[in-house]
Structure formats: C-alpha cells, structure tokens
C-alpha cells in the first residue's frame, strides 16, 4: 500500500485577522482529521506595494474599492500571533505550518519546528526569497500555479544550489475558485516525469471531487483552503471548504488510499469466497450413462465452480463417462 497522503488544511487568511477565528480553524482542521493546519506569514507592506491592484476574484469577493494592500492589512496577523498559534496547535495535537511571503518572515519562521517550507506559487520567481529558503536546507513543498516548466526548473535549481535537496512539487491553479476545465490534473504526471520529484496538488476548486481524484492519480500531498463559513467576508472564503466538507474530503481520501492497494493483481480476501459461486464447472446437461461419449450435446459449463474448469473443455470433449451422471452433476474424468 502507498504511503499516507499528507493533508494540509489551509487556514491562510480566512481568520480575517481575528485570533479567535484562527484558533477555531485549528480545531476544525484537527477534528476533520487533517495532518497540518497552515497559515500565512509576512509583513503586508513588504509583500505588496500600495500600487498592487486586487485580482479579479478578490474584487468579486471583497468589492472593487481599495488596493490589495488595503484589503490584506485588515486580514493579516502580527508576527507575535504565530507563536501563540503554534502553541495552540501543540495543545490541539496538529502540526503547525505557515507560509512565509517575505525574506524576513523566512528568518522569523526558521525558529519554528515546522516539517518543511511551503512556498506559494507567487514566490516561485522571487530569487532572494528562494535563496533564503534554500540556505535553511529544510525540505520544501513548492506550489507551481501560473508556472511554465522552465520557471519550475529555475526555482528547483536555485533551491538545490543553496542547499535544499528534498523538494516536493504541488500542481496548482491560482484562480479562486478554479474552473474545472482549468484544473489539468494530468499535469501532475507531466511534472513527475520531467522533474523526477514527488507531486501533490493544491486545490482551489469548489467541492471535494478534484482533490480526491488527485489522490487517485498519485498526489502525495493535498492542500485545501478551509473556512468556518463561505458567507464570511474575505477573498478566499468562497473557494474554501466548510468544516463538514473538510471532514468528508479527508474521509474520502483515506478511503481512496485503501482502495488504491499495492498494485498486485490477485483475488482479494473479501472476494475469494465468491470464486466457487461466480465461476463455472463442467456438468452433465442431461442424465448421462457410463461409457457414453461426452459431447457438446450432453455437457455444459454451469455454476458453481466445484468441478472441472471449463478451461479444460476440449480435454473433456470426446472422452467417455466413467460412470453414470445425473443432470447438473459435475463431470469427473
């Protein structure tokens, strides 16, 4: 059986800048069975300038007035909050993770015992940032939304040149929500073959079907945004899962993992008892007298498989009955 899929519940900025909501999202992730709950860290004024405009989906979800900076200033938490959230994760029994969005946030989060760095799609062309991440030599999970293969390769090379070897790629589309026709799950296979790395999937579609399908296609990590309610104000809530949906996704993924199995084709323990019931054996089509020649006129293959296999049909045809056989009785040689 394959290794267990790592499920990341992306709280992101869906706490809307409220510590109480952030802690609730930690508990939602834990109760649903996610492995990791992930936040976002970075001084907003270092992430974007005052001239950065909102993306179309952000305008749709939060209104067209104001800049991206204005919007995000209301949604971010101070660095000190992440120490508290990390402790809350420890108390809750779920792994804490936060994506750094700036070089200084890489330095800040370096003191946290996070299992790996999660690099967001928007930072894949941020050279000083990639260098800072690479120099930590910690494993990296790299989102690849909006990317051409050459851009992914360039980022991998920077990370490796600066000391990071353990890299997992996440296929991703950065539209919130992502149209199903733009998901392109087959790109996971393309990336796996081109880069020789493990590949997962960061999902922004509505619902849970696509991440479940990604697991069936070999995704080793699934990342999905979570929210307490899609009706809450903010740019990412509408493309997020509510608590019951997150539970359903996690449960479905665990079932898919079981269903994938080890790839060896053989009868499973649950179906071996059906072999005799569902298959056939060679039986008398009518009463047959001892010494009578067995032909297609007096024998037939019928259930159950408690006699000679029909695969031996031509071995039986033309022989003589060794005794009397009644109708439907298994033939013996």
Quick: pLDDT tens for 206-238. Answer: 999 999 999 999 999 999 999 999 999 888 888
Beta bridge partners of 288: 325
Calculate the alpha carbon distances from 303 to 279, 280, 283 in Å: 6, 4, 9
Question: Exposed, middle or buried by CB within 10 Å (0-12, 13-18, 19+), for 301?
Answer: middle
> pLDDT for 247-291, tens place per residue?
999 999 999 999 999 999 999 999 999 999 999 999 999 999 999
pLDDT at 297 over 50: yes
What backbone torsions phi and psi does residue 305 show, to the nearest 5 degrees? -90, 60
pLDDT value at residue 59: 72
What is the percent of the chain with per-residue pLDDT over 90, rounded to a whole number? 85
CA distance 307 to 283: 8
pLDDT of residue 72: 66
State the pLDDT at residue 68. Answer: 75
Strands 281-284 and 299-302: antiparallel
Is 214 exposed, middle or buried (CB count within 10 Å of its CB: 0-12, 13-18, 19+)? buried
Output the pLDDT for position 14.
Answer: 92
Could you tell me the end-to-end alpha-carbon distance of the chain, in angstroms, rounded to an integer?
43
Q: Give the mean model confidence (pLDDT) for residues 140-150.
A: 98
Specify the pTM: 0.88
What residue ranges define each of the domains in the chain, with the CATH number in brackets? 6-260 (3.20.20.70), 267-333 (3.90.1210.10)
Give the pLDDT band (50/70/90) at residue 55: confident
Burial 33-68 (b: 16+ CB within 10 A, else e): bbbbbbbbbbebeebbeeeeebeebbbebbeeeeeb
Does residue 61 register a pLDDT over 50? Answer: yes
Residue 156 pLDDT greater than 50, yes or no: yes
Cβ-proximal residues to 271 (8 Å cutoff; 6+ apart), any chain? none
Would the pLDDT of 1 be above 60? no
Is the pLDDT higher at 292 or at 176?
292
> For position 234, what pLDDT does the model report?
84
Of 155-159, 207-211, 237-241, 317-321, the poorest mean pLDDT is in: 237-241
Cα dihedral 202/6/255/184 (nearest 10): 20
Q: Mean pLDDT across the chain, nearest whole number?
A: 94
Residue 309 has a pLDDT of 98
List, for residues 233-253, the tens digit of each pLDDT value: 888 888 999 999 999 999 999
114, 98 Cβ separation under 8 angstroms: yes
pLDDT class for 9, splitting at 50, 70, 90? very high
Residues sharing a CB contact under 8 Å with residue 323, sequence separation 6 or more, in sequence order: 290, 332
Average pLDDT over residues 93-100: 98
Check pLDDT > 80 for residue 71: no
Q: Is the pLDDT score of 144 beyond 90?
A: yes
* Distance (Å, whole) CA 272 – CA 327: 27
pLDDT computed for residue 73 by the predictor: 64
Structure tokens at 327: 């109708």
């Amino acid at each position: 059986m394959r290794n267990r899929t790592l499920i990341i519940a992306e709280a992101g900025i869906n706490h809307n800048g409220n510590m109480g909501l952030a802690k609730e999202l930690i508990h939602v992730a834990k109760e649903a069975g996610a492995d990791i709950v992930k936040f976002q860290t970075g001084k907003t004024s270092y992430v974007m300038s005052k001239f950065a405009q909102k993306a179309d989906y952000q305008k749709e979800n939060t209104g067209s007035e104001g800049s991206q900076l204005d919007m995000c200033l209301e949604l971010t938490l101070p660095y000190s909050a992440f120490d508290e959230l990390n402790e809350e994760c420890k108390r809750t029994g779920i792994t804490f993770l936060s994506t750094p969005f700036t070089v200084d946030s890489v330095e800040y989060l370096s003191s946290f015992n996070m299992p790996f760095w999660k690099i967001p799609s928007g930072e894949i062309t941020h050279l000083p940032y990639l260098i800072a991440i690479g120099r930590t030599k910690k494993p990296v999970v790299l989102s690849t939304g909006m990317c051409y293969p050459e851009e992914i390769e360039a980022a991998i090379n920077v990370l490796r040149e600066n000391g990071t070897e353990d890299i997992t790629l996440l296929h991703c589309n950065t539209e919130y929500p992502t149209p199903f026709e733009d998901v392109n799950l087959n790109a996971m296979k393309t990336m796996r073959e081109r880069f020789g790395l493990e590949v997962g999937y960061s999902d922004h579609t509505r619902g849970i079907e696509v991440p479940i399908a990604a697991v069936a296609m070999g995704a080793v990590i699934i990342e999905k945004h979570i929210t307490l309610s899609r009706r809450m104000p903010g740019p990412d809530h509408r493309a997020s899962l509510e608590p019951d949906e997150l539970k359903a996704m996690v449960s479905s993924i665990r079932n898919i993992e079981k269903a994938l199995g080890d790839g060896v084709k053989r009868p499973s323990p649950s179906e071996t008892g059906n072999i005799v019931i569902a298959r056939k054996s060679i039986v008398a089509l009518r009463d047959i007298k001892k010494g009578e020649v067995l032909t297609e006129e007096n024998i037939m293959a019928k259930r159950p498989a408690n006699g000679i296999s029909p695969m031996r049909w031509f071995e039986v045809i033309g022989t003589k009955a060794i005794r009397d056989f009644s109708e439907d009785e298994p033939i013996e040689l």
